[in-house]
Amino acid sequence: MKNILKRTFLPGLMAATLAGTSLIPAQPASADDRVLNNAAIGAGASALTGAITGCGSFLNNAAVGAGAGAAVNAANGARTRQARRARGRLPVQDIGVGAGAGILTGAVTGGCRSTWKNGLNGAAAGAAVHLLDKRPTYRRR
């Protein structure tokens, strides 16, 4: 039975993978060299917020924050260079992306069963990344 499945699905899977990787142009990943820094900032902020709210374990809260910090980095990397120079980092975007990523990561890890607490942990991680990531902000003169 295993050989039949291998012979049936493997060629189709390989063809789909080849077509997906070579024929469809994709944008490169938008995360930059500071993704680990932002993930660490988010993990620390979320672990602290999780201890205050009494939600889940330390490691689960750190994982939620790390996911939120990485998502905030990716969201800022996805913006155009001109928009980043003109407006800098947007606090509402960082907090909103952090909250959404916190909810998603919390649902995957399952440590804290409260959606709003996962969102609060992610929002705190996004706010911490916004405040502590020391990138130069470019403004028009």
Residue 24's pLDDT is: 46
Residue 71 near residue 43 (C-beta atoms within 8 A): no
Render pLDDT for 9-40 as a digit per residue (tens, 0 to 9): 666 655 555 445 444 444 454 556 788 899 99
- Rounded to a whole number of angstroms, the distance between the first and last alpha carbons of the chain is 70
Render pLDDT for 83-102 as a digit per residue (tens, 0 to 9): 767 777 788 999 999 999 99
Regarding pTM above 0.85, the answer is no
SS3 readout for 19-83 = HHHHCCCCCCCCCCCCHHHHHHHHHHHHHHHHHHHCCCCHHHHHHHHHHHHHHHHHHHHHCCHHH
